[in-house]
Structures are given as structure tokens and as C-alpha cells.
Chain A
Amino acid sequence: MENNLAFQAMQSYEGAVKDGDMFAIDALLAELSAAYPEFKKDMSQYDTTVMLKLRDGSKARLLTFSGGTVKGEPGVGKNADIEMIFEDENRARKILAGLIACKMDVVVSAMKNGGFCLTGPDDSAMWFSTLIRKAFSFDILYQKNFGTKMPNGEMRYVTGTNGGPLFVYVKDDKIVRVTPMDFDESDAEPWTITARGMKFTPPKRTTITPYAVGWKSLVYSPDRLLYPLKRVDFDPNGERNPQNRGISGYERISWDEALDIVSDEIMRVRLEHGPGSVFAVNSSHHNWGYVGYYHSAMKRFFNLLGVTEMLANPDSWEGFAWGAVHHYGGSGRRGATEPFSTVEDCMKNAEMIVYWSADPESTSGNYAGQEGTVRREWVKQLGIPVVHIDPYLNSTAAFMGGRWLTPKPGTDVAMALAIAHVWLKTGAYDKDYVAKRTIGLDKWQAYIFGETDGVEKTPEWQETKTGIPARTVRALAEAWGSRKTYLACGGIHSFGGACRGSYGTEWARAMVCLMAMQGLGKEGVNFGGLQMGTPLDTRFWFPGYADGGFSGDFMGTGAGFQMYNRMPMTNSINSEYQRIPRLRIPEAILDGKTSANNYSNSSVHGQFLEVKYPAPGHSLVRMLYKYGGSYFGTQPESNRFAKMYRSDKLDMVVSQSVWMEGETKFADIILPACTNFERWDIGEFASCAGYIDKSYLQNNHRVVHMEHKCIEPLGESKSDYDIFLAICNRLGMGQVFSEGGSDFDWVKRFFNYTDLAEKVSWTEFMEKGYYVVPPLPENRRDPLALKWFADGGKMNTPEQTTAPSEYYGRFAEGLQTPSGKFEFESGTLKRFDPNDPERPPICTWIPSWEGPESELYQKYKLQLISPHPKFSYHTMGDGKDSTVNDIDEHRMLINGYRYWIFRMNPEDAAARGVKHGEVVEIYNDRGSVLCGLEVTNRLPKGVVHSYESCADYQPIGVPGESPETNGCINILTPSRFITKRSHGLSVNACLVEVRKWNGEG
């Protein structure tokens, strides 16, 4: 009954907007307050007066709010605390209709140009603005018309994670379970690939990773931050005791106190020190969602403040971004190639697949659950031979079978050069392609034949570097030279631990040069390991997280590519020019200066620009505002961060985090954020866009999904959106941040302005929670990646990442290189510095500075590789007392403590007197870490393995100077750049030693 009255009230108000007294919104508000206690609670937040009026005062209505009730009366000539001013009647009508429908064209335009204003105290004015928009969505927000009701009374909602979307079953505001999605009959039928007389169709469901299945235990983790906290010995008006960061405990404070301290400090440091004094640092992987992601809400917030930005390094791509781009472009994909239709081509035409430093079974490519697994099972059925090159018997190799080659870390280039040597000597390469589509092979050949340095790069020569028998490499080269071969590097096709080691640039360069010799783009010859390039619909547009969300930042995010012409919103821009390279954050703070190169997505040569800190006219950083997961697990030589945090060079450290872990323990003020299970958002499975355009092509299905607010935020935690908004209100820019609405309004706006709205109604989408985009019919599938290039034609794929100005000849003809051809000898490197010994114009072998040929090897004899983890997504899923920690391959339970796992070969273990299941100390000059030892034949002698990125940081003594027990392997890795003039990490060039730990753990 009440619900019907609410609907009637809404309908009557909609009628009033069209032709009645459009300011008489009080009737609707009163009706909702009477019908829904939650609405009444929201409405009772402020006792205040609001005037809705036309600019000239000819029409006005005064609303008086008191104790959750509202009264309306004619307002001409009267005053109110808050005024909502409309320029004229015509615009008022359009604005209100726009607000009701979340069609914001007129609203945004009026906001920008003064036709729609809100005045009054920030907090209460924002409250009123948000309240009326909530009223327009009362059916969802208060009547709870969303989700699917299950027969047993549970509600089934939907959310997204970086391990795949989930069905979330909820009862009594408590999550019961989370599962992958089994699609129903009304969902689109999947595609079929016909290859070698067989038909292959993926199952009609989604797959997820263990860190997605374990999410309930993350939501209800005992490590959740439920209240704002202040370090006990931090007094913003007195002694701040920075030396005690990471040591002292915390006390609970109110949100008001926390927000006052943070906003006062933001203003203080900017008033006293000027631009650059606030430093915004984020982890790459917070919660999933388009509104709440760091490219969206966070970006808008920090742009509005004006901050020193963190200059991100292309962390998973390194060698491709700083190396491979110089041979064939692809800067917008950080050195990768387009993926279109490669799954079908590989299945139909490839005669061999080489996985070189590639483990999609562990890394899910990126965000793609276990979607690629079924395709790799098909490869087994098709009988395509597979070769795996990786010092570690990774999960992909173990699952697929095939030959496993184990080069010593950092020596893969030598093997690649030997393969090229065999091809050049025997003529087993595509001479026609090389002649027509490439330049400079003669220069590379001269080097490979030893004409320039006196060393012939034969299979026998490589054996002395890699440890792989010459006959094995010769056999591989001969097979590869005579078979159409796909090459997979990393989880998708331009990653891989080998590109994150010393001169990983050279390895990535070698990979693309080998493929160019074999006719890259011809049928059966391409990049990929069945992880990306499924035949899904690329024409349907829905944004990925790097498309900028509601940041309004059309330069600093992907918003300038797609979003600008789809969804109206006010823009934001960071007016400060100071940036700190992520890999040099501690140096910037402690030494007051640093520099690194700037990776450019928009051009190849953009990466030659050096970024220096401090920037002219800017302040040194005084306040560090950290958002999201721990750097101790993910950044090289990470004890540096402990030293930085404990320095008095930082006046204040704020951490906005979901859990108490890692760096959060070094903050002065902690702001507790809720998870995306506790707030509204929207997203798509495995879609980041931006630097991996159309990354959903890793999936078997395109799944656009709602992120329902499944439960109320735990404790006093708030959505990131609400935290940013609360700070903005204190700085007087709540409206500028939010455009007067809540995160829910933004979700609805995104829905309305994407292709989704043409396919499914808002009501239906809110109820079901997802939409499966049907694949295109077979005769409309995308053309094969780079075939246009191999054929000498014009680009015909839906590739958008290369800027038109990056073609030096005719647009869309040829590659993003100075010549438009594949360049074995790189024109961009020749122009930049032809004599750079660390990155010469041709790909060369350069021994590792931290490998078997280095001096340090005398002291530390084990080569450590620390690839991206299998059971957590960087720090997401690990620690936090989650069930993921119970995975025997993730952590090892010894004496009641779950140690991070460190792996070594039986011979190496025996030589050091250490045994499986013991606590060992892994150490070098940079620090030491305690782990549980797994003795395994998955490694050859001399190589040890441990995944990067545990979530917590637990030093047993002084932070930064004592053994660490939680498994921060990155304490041991070098902070040196992959090649001097870059900004790329080289964590897989790392020598260590291991001994039994006899101390206290």
C-alpha cells in the first residue's frame, strides 16, 4: 500500500515537472518519509530550510525540514539556509526532468554555465541535493527493488572482482555465499570455433579465481578497518613523532575528527608550502568497479585538490614498453600487439605454440578468471605441440604438458639470438615478408654472426649462458622455423617475468624480432597463448575501468578516447605539474630529488622525456595520502618504504584503506573504506580498457554487470566516494566533486550513456544484475590481428590505440615506427641515442648486473624469480585472515603461522642443509625475509622462486631494518631500472642466499 502511494507520489511529481508546480517536491519527500523509515532517517539528518526558485524570484517554494518531516509553502520574498536556483522556468523543467531520469545533458550544461546553482553550507546543501536524487530512485534505494529473490528467501545480487564477477547470495544483510555465474536460458548463446574438423564452444557460464571465491572472507576479515583511527602519539597540533610510524598503536576517533584533521592538514600544507605539497599514491588494484576505481573517484578527488601525482611505471609490461615498442610500435598497448581473432586463427592454423615466460593459468591473463583454461584444454584436443620456456615449471606448463625449457633467469635473450642464428644460417625464415615488411635485419644478422663483436651467437654459445643444451635449442629453432607458430609472452601476450629482469627490454625485443622473421600477422603466426582474442562483439561499447569513470579527466585517463562524447560531465584537471616516479618514491622523499623517464601511451618517442622531481616552483612533498594496498609486497627493495615513512620529511601520512595491512600501519590517520560489496558500482568482466584496450577479449563471454550494494557498510566504514565527498565538503567543493549526486547516480548515468541501455531496461538490469553481450555472427567477426600488415594493406581491425600523428606516412598504413615497417634496427633508438650500451638500436645480449656473470654471484649463488602470484591478485586475497591463506600452495602452516612459500630444487636445499617444511631465511645485502620452504623439482638447480606481493608487512624488529616474516619477497629485489633511461622495474634480477632460520619468527 505504502509502495503504491510512493509510486503515485512520484508519478504525480513527474507530472508536476511537465506542467504543474515543479517546485512542489515536498509532497513526494513527505510521502517517501512516511513510507520508508530509511528515507526518513536520511531526511532527518538536517533540520534546515531550502528554497527552490527561479533566478528572478518570480517562482519559489520554501521547504522546511524538521525531524525527518518536510513542509512546503510558497516562497516568494522569503529566505532560506540553502537555495537551489534555476535560471528560468524552461530550464528548470528540463533540469528536473533530467535529474529524475539521470539524463544529465541539460543539467551538466546548466551547472557549467550558471543556469543551475546550489548555495548554502556545503554539507547540508549537498545533503539536500543528494536527497532529492535519492527520492527519484526510491524504488531501488528504499524499496529495494533489485537483485533476484531465490526460492529459499535469499537474495541473489551481483558484484565484480579482479578475479571475475560474482553472484552474491545475501540473507538478513549478511553474505551467505559467492559463486561464479551460471547463465540462464535467456542469456546469449556463446560462439563456436570450427578448427581441424572439430567444433568448440565454451560453456555457458563464467569462471573465477580463488581470490574471487574467497571474497566473503575478505569482507568479514578480522583485519577490516571499521572505524577511523589516529596513531596514539600523533598530535597534528603538537608532537607528531614520525619516527614511530609503523611502531605505535592506534586509537579510535570519530569521522568528524578524522575528516577535520585530514582536510585541515591538506589546506595547511598547501597554504604554507604551495603546489606539490600533497602527494597522492595509489595501489593498482583496489576494489572492482567503474565509479569507485582509482581512475574515477580517486582521480577526480585528487585533481580537485591539486597534488603531486605518482608517475606509474608500466609494471607488468616493462620490457615490451621500454624495448619492443621501438621495433614495431604499439605504445598505446605498452608494446603489445592487437589481439583480434587470434584464438580462432591459432586453433585453426598454428602448428606449434611457444609459451615463453608465460603462465596464464596462474595470472588469468589479467582479471579473466579461469576463462582461458578451456581453450588451452582444446589445444590438447587439437594436438598442437606446445613448448614452455620458463625457469619454473609454471601452472600452464604443468597443465598443458609439452617440453619445458629452463634457461637461467636473465639469459633468455641468448637463447633467442641462437634461434635467430639457426634461422639465418639455414634460411628458415620468411624472406619475402622480411624483404617487404621489415628493415634492418642485415644489421641484426651482422651482430648475430659475430661480425660486429667477434662472438657468433650459436646454439653452443647460448648453452654457456642459459644452461640449455645446444641440441635442444637447435631442435626448437628448426621446429619453429618450419611450423606456423604462435608465441605467448606472459599471461596475455606482452607480459612475462622475463621482461621484468635486468635488460628485460632486450628479451622483449628479441621476442618481437623472432616473430617478425617468421611473418608476424600471417595466418598461424601471431602473438597469443589462447588467453586473448576470442570472437566476441567489439562493437558493443561499455567502458573499462581505465576509461576514466567520472574523473572528468580527459587527458590523464582514457576518458578522452571514448567517454567524452558519450557521457556529459564536468571536467577535472590536476593543475600541478610535479610527479614522482613510483619506483623512486622513497628517494624523492628522503633525498628531496629524483628522476625517471616518462612512459608515454600516445607515442613511442614520448618515453625519452625525463621527469624530474621537484618540479620548478613546486613544493617538496609534505603530506602523503595513500589509497589501497601495500607497496611492501609489490615494489622492489621495499624496506626503502619503511625508512621513508619513519622520516620527519613527511608531516603527515593518511591511509585510506579497507584492511589494516602493509603500509596502513605507517599512517597517522586511517580512513576506513568499505568494499564494493557494500556500495553501488557497475563494471564489466575483465575490462580495463585504456592500456589493454578491449581486454574483455580474454573472456568467453562479455558480461556487463551491476555491482549491487549487497550489504550495508561494515562498522563505520564508508565508500571511497563518500570519504572523498566528505573531505571535499570541508574544502568547499562537494558539488564540484559530486555534481550534487551520490555514487548511485553515477552508476545510473553510466548505464544510461552506454550501449547497455539500448539492450536492457534499467529495471531489468537492476533485478538480474548482468547482461551477456551476444557474440557477433561468424561472418561479422573481427579481421585477424596484423594480417592487414602482413598483406601490405591498410589497418582493418578495430584497433584504436595508435594516434594518427604516429604514422609518418599515410594514416593507418604500416606500423607505429618511423619507417612504418618492422624495424630490426630501431629508428627511434637511433635518433635518441645510437650509442646507448644498455639499449642499442638492435637487440643484443647484455649479461645481467645481478646474475651468474656478476660479481655479486660470488656472495649469493641463487637466482630468485618472483613472478605475479597465482592465488592472490597482487595483495588482493592474501593475508587478512582470508580463506585463500589456507591454500597449501599459497602459504605454508608451520608452528601455527602461515608462512609465504619459497621454492627451491632438492639439490640446492641439500647443499644448504635446509628441508621441506622448515622456516628459512632468504637474504642478501638488501634485507631478509622468512618463508616456509618447499623443496620441488619444478625448478632447476640454481634458481629459486617465490611469488611477489604478500599483503602484509611484519618485521620482527625495527621496521626497515629487520627480518620480515610475512613474505615480502620484494624486500630482496633490486630497485635498479630495467635499463638506465627508463622507469621500469627489474625484480627478476635478484641474487640471494638461504639458510635455516633458528631465531624467533
Chain B
Amino acid sequence: MYMIIDVAKCVGCFNCMISCKDEHVGNSWLPYTQEQQKHDQKWINPVKHERGAAPFTEMNFVTGLCFHCENAACAKAQPNSVNRRKDGVVLLDAEKAKGNKALVASCPYGKISWNEELETAQKCTMCAHLLDGGWKEPRCVQACPLRALSVVSCDEAEFEEMKKSQQLEPLTDGKNAPRVYYRNLYKLNTCFISGALAVKEGGIEKAAGDAEVRLFKDGKLVTMAATDFFGEFKIDRLPKNSGKYEVECSVDGYEPVKCAVTVTDESPNLDVIVFG
């Protein structure tokens, strides 16, 4: 079983986190896991990310949970405390997790948390107790309005194909062979350049729609874009901290205007460029 998370389909409702709590707070599902601590643990949680500034601000949520790694660091650290099931779900041994704070530290992604009340290490179980009882999906997926979260059951080869065709990426470095993959992660880890073009006609500043914008890096054309009816453009998927670019804006009947722009870890917005 793999989980795919589409960043572009997440509306930030947090149903996943609340469903997880609904299933696990106040319910013990031993031998899978004990109860989740009511407020102080989250086994799944969307994290808000903003890109750009008004009026080009974007907001997206990136949902994090245990990646159920095939080569899980927790399993490497404590082979006897971690069970990797045939379906790929990685479970902590509920007995051996008790009093075992080292398990928390063993996950490089911080996805194992400590239950202060029960003094035990815990994490997402993919609702294995439900899957074993015939459920098709874990609770977080079942409550997701657009199925921004989804699970697929397929073999490794099929999933490799899916990764390519759907441009799936891991959230982190991809080491340890995670089984949770993301779509549209560029909204988290790339930047965009935005700007507006206008022309001055009869004393009135008018939006320059359908104008051409070219983006150059070190003199080479990177990409081209057209302005919308607001005379605005947005060039996306530029690597963070990719440095200096040159933007060339062309409006019919006017000399092109060039300007320099630097991409840091923030998305830059150019002031309006007025032709004429």
C-alpha cells in the first residue's frame, strides 16, 4: 500500500487530522497501538505554506505523516520494535514502544511522537486495524473531501511507473524508500516570479493583456509566458535560491523592457512596468 498526497487538491480542512484523533483518541486498538494522546500528539497534520506576497500570495497545505519507509530508520535502529507488514504498513510494536524514547529519536523525519500520558512511542498505523477489518482506506483518506489523500495497492514496479507518469515526489530526500509520495510539491519547494505590464493610452494606464514575457538565465531563454487580461504574469517552478534572472517584457508597438530579478527562497514580484 502506498499513499499519494496531492498538494493542489488539499483545501486545508484538517479533516485528516481530526479523523485520526476521532479514531485513535479514547480508543485503544491493541495490538496495533494504544490510544493517541488527545491534544498533544498528531500522527498526521497539514502544514500551511505561503508563497509570494499580496496580491500574488499562494497558500497551500502539505500534509505530513509517517512515510512507512521500506528501509525505515526506526526499523534499522530497533529491528525488534518495528514490524513492516506485507502490505507495506510500518507498525511500532506497542509493547516494545513503551518507555522507549529512543524510538522517537530514531525517525529522521520526526514522525514518531511521544505519548506523555501512556509513556510510549507512537505514530500513524495507516489504520491497519481497520484495513484488516475490511476497510478500504484509513480514516484520514476516507474523510478527505477531494481525496487529496489517496491510497493505492500495487506492486513496486507498478508504483515506479506511477511515480514517473504522475510526477510523484517524496517530501524529503527520498532516502529510506518512503511509501508516501506527493503530487504538485513544486508549490512547496519552488518559487515564482510575478509582475504586471501596462500601457499608457490617453493619460489612462491600461493593463497590457496577451503580452509576451521571456525569462532568461545567464543569457539563455528559460521559459516564456503571456500576460492575462489583468496584464499580469506568473512564471512558476523556479528553483529556490536560483539567483539572478532577466525578464524581458514585450508589448506590441513598444520597445521591449528588460529587468533583473533575483530568486531567493521567496517568490519575487516585479512592480508594474508601464509602456509609453
State the CA gap A925–B269 with chains docked (Å): 38
Q: Decide if B131 is an interface residue (CB 8 Å cutoff).
A: no
Q: With both chains docked as a complex, state the minimum distance between the C-beta of B4 and any C-beta of chain A, in angstroms.
A: 16
Q: Is B145's CB under 8 angstroms from A216's CB?
A: no
Q: A176-B27, A940-B54 are in contact. Are A374 and B145 (CB under 8 A)?
A: yes
* A886-927 near B? 1/0 per residue, CB < 8 Å: 111110000000000000010000000000000000000000
Residues of A within 8 A of B54 (CB): 393, 404, 406, 905, 937-940
Q: Decide if B177 is an interface residue (CB 8 Å cutoff).
A: no
Q: Decide if A885 is an interface residue (CB 8 Å cutoff).
A: yes
A-B contact number at CB 8 A: 148
Q: Is B146's CB under 8 angstroms from A178's CB?
A: no
Closest residue to B147 on the A side, CB-wise?
Answer: A203
Q: With both chains docked as a complex, state the minimum distance between the C-beta of B186 and any C-beta of chain A, in angstroms.
A: 14
Q: Is A886's CB under 8 angstroms from B42's CB?
A: yes
Q: Is A209's CB under 8 angstroms from B25's CB?
A: no
Q: Decide if B17 is an interface residue (CB 8 Å cutoff).
A: yes
Q: Is A209's CB under 8 angstroms from B22's CB?
A: no
State the CA gap A320–B232 with chains docked (Å): 33
Q: Decide if B206 is an interface residue (CB 8 Å cutoff).
A: yes
Q: Decide if B11 is an interface residue (CB 8 Å cutoff).
A: yes
Q: Decide if B191 is an interface residue (CB 8 Å cutoff).
A: no
Closest residue to B229 on the A side, CB-wise?
Answer: A479
Closest residue to B57 on the A side, CB-wise?
Answer: A937
Q: Is B17's CB under 8 angstroms from A403's CB?
A: no
Closest residue to B51 on the A side, CB-wise?
Answer: A937
Count A interface residues, CB 8 Å: 59
Q: A151-B134, A178-B22 are in contact. Are A471 and B205 (CB under 8 A)?
A: yes
Q: Is A405's CB under 8 angstroms from B134's CB?
A: no
Q: Is B205's CB under 8 angstroms from A470's CB?
A: yes
Q: Decide if B52 is an interface residue (CB 8 Å cutoff).
A: yes
Q: With both chains docked as a complex, state the minimum distance between the C-beta of B106 and any C-beta of chain A, in angstroms.
A: 25
Q: Is B133's CB under 8 angstroms from A151's CB?
A: yes
Residues of A within 8 A of B38 (CB): 217, 881, 883
Residues of B within 8 A of A207 (CB): 145
Q: Decide if A428 is an interface residue (CB 8 Å cutoff).
A: no
Q: Decide if A541 is an interface residue (CB 8 Å cutoff).
A: no
Residues of B within 8 A of A871 (CB): 14
* A352-387 near B? 1/0 per residue, CB < 8 Å: 000000000100000001100110010000000100
Q: With both chains docked as a complex, state the minimum distance between the C-beta of A158 and any C-beta of chain B, in angstroms.
A: 16
Q: Is A179's CB under 8 angstroms from B142's CB?
A: yes
Q: With both chains docked as a complex, state the minimum distance between the C-beta of B194 and any C-beta of chain A, in angstroms.
A: 11
Q: Is A889's CB under 8 angstroms from B12's CB?
A: yes
A210 interface neighbour in B15, B26, B48, B133, Cβ under 8 Å: B15
State the CA gap A980–B13 with chains docked (Å): 38
Q: With both chains docked as a complex, state the minimum distance between the C-beta of B12 and any C-beta of chain A, in angstroms.
A: 6
State the CA gap A401–B6 with chains docked (Å): 15
Q: Is A182's CB under 8 angstroms from B18's CB?
A: no
Closest residue to A871 on the B side, CB-wise?
Answer: B14
State the CA gap A475–B206 with chains docked (Å): 7
* A183-216 near B? 1/0 per residue, CB < 8 Å: 0000000000000000000000001111001101
Q: Is B206's CB under 8 angstroms from A883's CB?
A: no
Q: Is A886's CB under 8 angstroms from B146's CB?
A: no
Name the interface residues of A862-887: CB closer than 8 Å to any CB of B. 871, 881, 883-887
Q: Decide if B45 is an interface residue (CB 8 Å cutoff).
A: yes
State the CA gap A216–B38 with chains docked (Å): 12
Q: Is B58's CB under 8 angstroms from A398's CB?
A: yes
Q: With both chains docked as a complex, state the minimum distance between the C-beta of A347 and any C-beta of chain B, in angstroms.
A: 17
Closest residue to A394 on the B side, CB-wise?
Answer: B59
A883 interface neighbour in B11, B22, B56, Cβ under 8 Å: B22
Q: Decide if A1001 is an interface residue (CB 8 Å cutoff).
A: no
Q: With both chains docked as a complex, state the minimum distance between the C-beta of B183 and any C-beta of chain A, in angstroms.
A: 14
Q: A217-B22, A398-B59 are in contact. Are A475 and B13 (CB under 8 A)?
A: no
Q: Decide if A80 is an interface residue (CB 8 Å cutoff).
A: no
A472 interface neighbour in B19, B57, B133, B230, Cβ under 8 Å: B230
Q: Decide if A478 is an interface residue (CB 8 Å cutoff).
A: yes
Q: Decide if A180 is an interface residue (CB 8 Å cutoff).
A: yes
Name the interface residues of B56-78: CB closer than 8 Å to any CB of A. 56-60
Residues of B within 8 A of A474 (CB): 204, 206-207
Residues of A within 8 A of B14 (CB): 210, 871, 887-890
Residues of A within 8 A of B198 (CB): 471
Q: With both chains docked as a complex, state the minimum distance between the C-beta of B237 and any C-beta of chain A, in angstroms.
A: 15
State the CA gap A478–B229 with chains docked (Å): 9
A216 interface neighbour in B26, B206, B230, Cβ under 8 Å: B26
Residues of B within 8 A of A374 (CB): 145-146
Name the interface residues of B30-63: CB closer than 8 Å to any CB of A. 38-39, 42, 45, 47-48, 50, 52-60
Q: Decide if B260 is an interface residue (CB 8 Å cutoff).
A: no
Q: Is B59's CB under 8 angstroms from A938's CB?
A: yes
Q: Is B15's CB under 8 angstroms from A177's CB?
A: no
Q: Decide if A476 is an interface residue (CB 8 Å cutoff).
A: yes
Q: A216-B26, A217-B21 are in contact. Are A395 and B12 (CB under 8 A)?
A: yes
Q: A470-B205, A937-B52 are in contact. Are A399 and B57 (CB under 8 A)?
A: no
Name the interface residues of B225-256: CB closer than 8 Å to any CB of A. 228-232
Q: Decide if B143 is an interface residue (CB 8 Å cutoff).
A: yes
Q: Decide if B209 is an interface residue (CB 8 Å cutoff).
A: yes
Q: Decide if B212 is an interface residue (CB 8 Å cutoff).
A: no
Closest residue to B58 on the A side, CB-wise?
Answer: A398
Residues of A within 8 A of B196 (CB): 471
State the CA gap A884–B22 with chains docked (Å): 11
Q: Decide if A152 is an interface residue (CB 8 Å cutoff).
A: yes
Residues of A within 8 A of B232 (CB): 403
Q: Is A180's CB under 8 angstroms from B142's CB?
A: yes
12 residue pairs from A and B, CB less than 8 Å apart: A152-B133, A177-B23, A208-B15, A209-B15, A210-B18, A217-B38, A373-B146, A395-B12, A401-B58, A460-B204, A472-B207, A887-B17
User: Can you add 5 more A-B contacts, CB < 8 Å, to A177-B23, A937-B50?
Assistant: A361-B11, A374-B146, A404-B57, A475-B206, A938-B54
Which 4 pairs from chain A and chain B are nearest by CB? Answer: A370-B145, A475-B207, A398-B59, A213-B18
Footprint of B on A, CB under 8 Å?
A: 151-152, 176-180, 182, 207-210, 213-214, 216-217, 220, 361, 369-370, 373-374, 377, 385, 393, 395, 398-399, 401, 403-406, 460, 469-472, 474-476, 478-479, 871, 881, 883-890, 905, 936-940
